[in-house]
Amino acid sequence: MADKEEILQKLLKPVGIEKKAGYNNSSVFGGFDNYILQWLDRLAELSSDERVLELIADLKELFSDYSRVQIKQRQKKLAAGQELFNSLSNLIQEETVEEDSMQRLPPIWQKSIRYVKGVGKKRAEKLARLEIDTLRDMLFYIPRDYRDWSKNLPIRELSPDSEVTATGQVVDSTELRPRKGLTITKVIISDNTGRLAGVWFNQSYIKQKFKPGMAVSFSGEVKQEYGELQITHPHYEIMDSDKELDPGKILPVYSTTQGLSQNLLRKIVSRILKEHLDRFPESLSPGIKDKYDLLDVKEALYKIHFPDQIREVKEARQRLAFGELFILQLGILLKKTDLLTEEEGLVHTGSDELITNFLSDLPFELTSAQRRVWAEIKDNLESSIVMNRLVQGDVGSGKTVVATLALLKAVSSGYQGAMMAPTEILAEQHYLSLKESLEEYGLQIGLLVGSLKKSERKEVIAGIESGEVDIVIGTHALLQEEVSFAKLGLVITDEQHRFGVRQRAILKEKGENPDVLVMTATPIPRTLALTLYGDLDLSVIDELPPGRKPVITEWRREKDFDKIFDFIRQEVKSGRQAYIVCPLVEESEELDVRSAENMAEKLDEDIFPEFKIGLLHGQLKTDEKEAVMEGFRSQQIDILVSTTVIEVGVDVANATLMVILDAQRFGLAQLHQLRGRVGRSEYQSYCILVADPGTETGRERMKIMTQSTDGFVIAEEDLQLRGPGEFFGTRQHGLPDLEVADLLRDSRLVELARKEARKVVDSDPKLQQEEHQLLADLLQAKFGDGFELIDVS
């Protein structure tokens, strides 16, 4: 007994609760009062041991209505409680409070939601479906809407034909079936000043929700019908029978799952706010809060769930979004400095002779943007710090030339270079153009794609291994285990959003810390780039080669086909070439191919017998594709009918017309990429989008394409229309999972949070100072070891 007494004392002291004198263990239960409940709560907070928490929950449940039960039951409870208490004491004796770094965060962070009053095991499982596991998760479960019940009026004062809210008790509910296929459910509430009916058509499940005597609020447009006040399909709210929630307030509405009512969620949140909010840590310094006029985190958390006025929600959201973005940016910046300071890389200091020759043999001068970006890359290559650089440039801005310069630098320094492209067509095209331009300098260029013949494959792999091949271009075939490099010094991935982090890492592992260059034509708005590629250095080629004319883009309907064919004829007759991109059939590649084949046949036989038609799709063999592309490049083919395989990187300057069929099926970014295949010379180019979109958004997208040829503008619009998740396809593309903030909507906050995060990282790059301990813990709690954005390491 003395042991338990001691334990109790030991546990109570740090909590700041004086144990009442004279209680022995049984009288703890005998004199059960608020004090013991308080003690159990505090004890639960201090412990993270599941078994202890479970016992505490059981004890609380057992005794929470203790004073109300009959004597006999009380005795029973007392006995059960004594038993539970003994087990608890034993466990506590075993438990040593671990002082690891996470302990600096209050237990609210990792404490299971299960132990909040009214939750329990079953409901905790349901909450887990909403990704709510801890008390903290629940507080950051942001309402999707609010119901303002504060504007309640007595029923007598409701004026017909206006939007109203009224509360009363259910006095009657009926269901009528006036004819087959029609069910009318009527629920009548009364508040002593009058009666109001809620009416639903064909929603018979509604009836069972309302039981006589229940307090219910209806809101909606009220009408005077058949001598009574009615609201058709009202918003309704069943008032909290425990009266724990204030019915006259603004109440949150959460996205929920079966078995978790709005009222239950509200109560859980309200209890956590009441019992735990005061120990919630503040991540932002007073300086930052003052500067941007941000609320305290506690106030913000309270107001986001239970605002007094709707306008307070915005302020609360801003604050929480800022906090979230601040931690995110901090993580990204820390990771970046980590990469910079810790990764020793290769030094590429070979002679520049090859580069000078190559540049002087080019038929054009580099644009100033190309020169600037090349200088940035060269700096990285020559230094001993590993390069992790993203080169972003709109379609046709001349990224390939810059990549070639980097490859030449690596080769001149005695290393091999590898370039990975997302499709065979693109890999082959890069291969052919590099072969043509670099072989004259005595370099060996290799191609490694899946569809090579066995013997060719073997030969290339042997060449890579012996070091005979200087530069290899390939698809993910480069990642195969059997491919090993003699001396890999530079890895370039083209169109990186198609490659996963892991794939790049595999390629990188084939060398000893090679430099990495990532190329993308996907224009990403700055705020997103800061977050997605925050740990990469960013170079932007923001200038097109001189003399380029914007592609004239028109949107036409299917019925206009004859005119479109006339226009194609006119262009081809004047010596130019055209692409026709066939609709994307999502269900199957085979259907894609078939529609392209049919189109090619129709054009060849019926429409343009005078022209040479080519056909290109993903199912052709490598040499067949090569032959078709070569035929188009050398102008033996006038019109190339294709599936979307030509989307990226195909470069035939004489092609000036692109017709995209069923254009509404493509995303804006993809349309922009496709359109980028023309307008690559000084000739005026055209793009015709053939589309009959059935939706307003579809029409909107066609309009955007006709109005702008700037990839950044289009990407911004696309993001607005589709949201970042869809824009990038899936979450795998590295978009962080944000609870409150929205990278697009909050772009200003992203910039500000980044600025403040940078200050912290500059002053304390490893977050070692005392004042930054909490931030370090928050980072650890948020991202743990799995902090992975788009990453090349």
Ligand X SMILES: Nc1ncnc2c1ncn2[C@@H]1O[C@H](COP(=O)(O)OP(=O)(O)OP(=O)(O)O)[C@@H](O)[C@H]1O
- The distance of closest approach from Cβ of residue 635 to ligand X in the complex, given in angstroms and rounded to an integer, is 15
Q: For ligand X, give the closer residue by CB, 149 or 683.
A: 683
- The distance of closest approach from Cβ of residue 651 to ligand X in the complex, given in angstroms and rounded to an integer, is 5
**Is-contact 753 329, C-beta < 8 A?**
yes
List, as one string, the DSSP characters of 541-570.
E--PPTTPPPPEEEEE-GGGHHHHHHHHHH
d(CA 313, CA 304) in angstroms, rounded, equals 5
> Count of alpha carbons within 13 Å of 451, Cβ hemisphere only?
14
- The distance of closest approach from Cβ of residue 579 to ligand X in the complex, given in angstroms and rounded to an integer, is 13
- The distance of closest approach from Cβ of residue 370 to ligand X in the complex, given in angstroms and rounded to an integer, is 6
Q: Which helix (H) or strand (E) holds 437?
A: helix 424-438
First to last CA, the chain: 58
- Smallest CA-to-CA distance from 541 within 717, 789, 375 is with 375
Q: For ligand X, give the closer residue by CB, 55 or 401.
A: 401
Q: Which helix (H) or strand (E) holds 360?
A: helix 353-361
Q: Which residues bind ligand X (CB under 6 A)?
A: 364, 366-367, 370, 393, 395-401, 521, 545, 649, 651, 653, 676, 680
- The distance of closest approach from Cβ of residue 399 to ligand X in the complex, given in angstroms and rounded to an integer, is 4
- Would you put residue 495 in left (φ > 0), alpha (ψ -120 to 50) or beta? left
Q: For ligand X, give the closer residue by CB, 52 or 421.
A: 421
- The distance of closest approach from Cβ of residue 655 to ligand X in the complex, given in angstroms and rounded to an integer, is 11
Q: For ligand X, give the closer residue by CB, 405 or 483.
A: 405
- Give the count of beta carbons closer than 10 Å to the beta carbon of residue 151: 12
Sign of CA dihedral 765, 768, 770, 773: positive
Q: For ligand X, give the closer residue by CB, 315 or 651.
A: 651
Q: For ligand X, give the closer residue by CB, 303 or 680.
A: 680
The Cα-based distances of 43 to 58, 77, 411 in angstroms read 13, 21, 66
Q: For ligand X, give the closer residue by CB, 393 or 511.
A: 393
In degrees, rounded to 5, the angle at the alpha carbon of residue 194 between the alpha carbons of residues 189 and 198 is 35
- The distance of closest approach from Cβ of residue 599 to ligand X in the complex, given in angstroms and rounded to an integer, is 24
Q: For ligand X, give the closer residue by CB, 399 or 498.
A: 399
- The distance of closest approach from Cβ of residue 545 to ligand X in the complex, given in angstroms and rounded to an integer, is 3
Sign of CA dihedral 142, 143, 144, 150: negative
The Cα-based distances of 52 to 15, 41, 85, 93, 95 in angstroms read 17, 12, 10, 11, 9
Q: For ligand X, give the closer residue by CB, 399 or 497.
A: 399
List, as one string, the DSSP characters of 460-477.
HHHHHHHT--SEEEESGG
Radius of gyration of the CA atoms of the chain, in A: 34
Q: For ligand X, give the closer residue by CB, 112 or 400.
A: 400
- The distance of closest approach from Cβ of residue 517 to ligand X in the complex, given in angstroms and rounded to an integer, is 13
Q: For ligand X, give the closer residue by CB, 202 or 357.
A: 357
- Give the count of beta carbons closer than 10 Å to the beta carbon of residue 149: 21
- The distance of closest approach from Cβ of residue 630 to ligand X in the complex, given in angstroms and rounded to an integer, is 16
**Is-contact 506 481, C-beta < 8 A?**
no
- Give the count of beta carbons closer than 10 Å to the beta carbon of residue 56: 20
d(CA 206, CA 175) in angstroms, rounded, equals 10
**Is-contact 370 377, C-beta < 8 A?**
no
SS3 content of the chain, % helix, strand, coil (to 5): 50, 15, 35
Q: For ligand X, give the closer residue by CB, 119 or 674.
A: 674
- The distance of closest approach from Cβ of residue 376 to ligand X in the complex, given in angstroms and rounded to an integer, is 16
Q: For ligand X, give the closer residue by CB, 648 or 757.
A: 648
Instruction: List the beta bridge partners of residue 189.
Output: 170, 196
Q: For ligand X, give the closer residue by CB, 283 or 642.
A: 642
- Smallest CA-to-CA distance from 451 within 625, 190, 310 is with 625
- The distance of closest approach from Cβ of residue 436 to ligand X in the complex, given in angstroms and rounded to an integer, is 12
**Is-contact 182 201, C-beta < 8 A?**
yes
Q: For ligand X, give the closer residue by CB, 370 or 553.
A: 370
d(CA 608, CA 639) in angstroms, rounded, equals 9
d(CA 665, CA 535) in angstroms, rounded, equals 34
Q: Which residues contact 118 (CB under 8 A, 6 or more apart)?
A: 264, 267, 268, 271
Q: For ligand X, give the closer residue by CB, 448 or 521.
A: 521
- Smallest CA-to-CA distance from 433 within 471, 479, 489 is with 471
- The distance of closest approach from Cβ of residue 396 to ligand X in the complex, given in angstroms and rounded to an integer, is 5
The tokens of 246 are what? Answer: 């204030």
- The distance of closest approach from Cβ of residue 392 to ligand X in the complex, given in angstroms and rounded to an integer, is 10
The Cα-based distances of 697 to 51, 59, 438, 498, 656 in angstroms read 54, 57, 47, 26, 28
- The distance of closest approach from Cβ of residue 532 to ligand X in the complex, given in angstroms and rounded to an integer, is 19
- The distance of closest approach from Cβ of residue 446 to ligand X in the complex, given in angstroms and rounded to an integer, is 20
**Is-contact 320 300, C-beta < 8 A?**
yes
Q: For ligand X, give the closer residue by CB, 222 or 418.
A: 418
- The distance of closest approach from Cβ of residue 105 to ligand X in the complex, given in angstroms and rounded to an integer, is 46
Sign of CA dihedral 160, 166, 171, 177: positive
- The distance of closest approach from Cβ of residue 336 to ligand X in the complex, given in angstroms and rounded to an integer, is 26
In degrees, rounded to 5, the angle at the alpha carbon of residue 342 between the alpha carbons of residues 336 and 346 is 105
Q: For ligand X, give the closer residue by CB, 476 or 680.
A: 680
d(CA 444, CA 466) in angstroms, rounded, equals 12
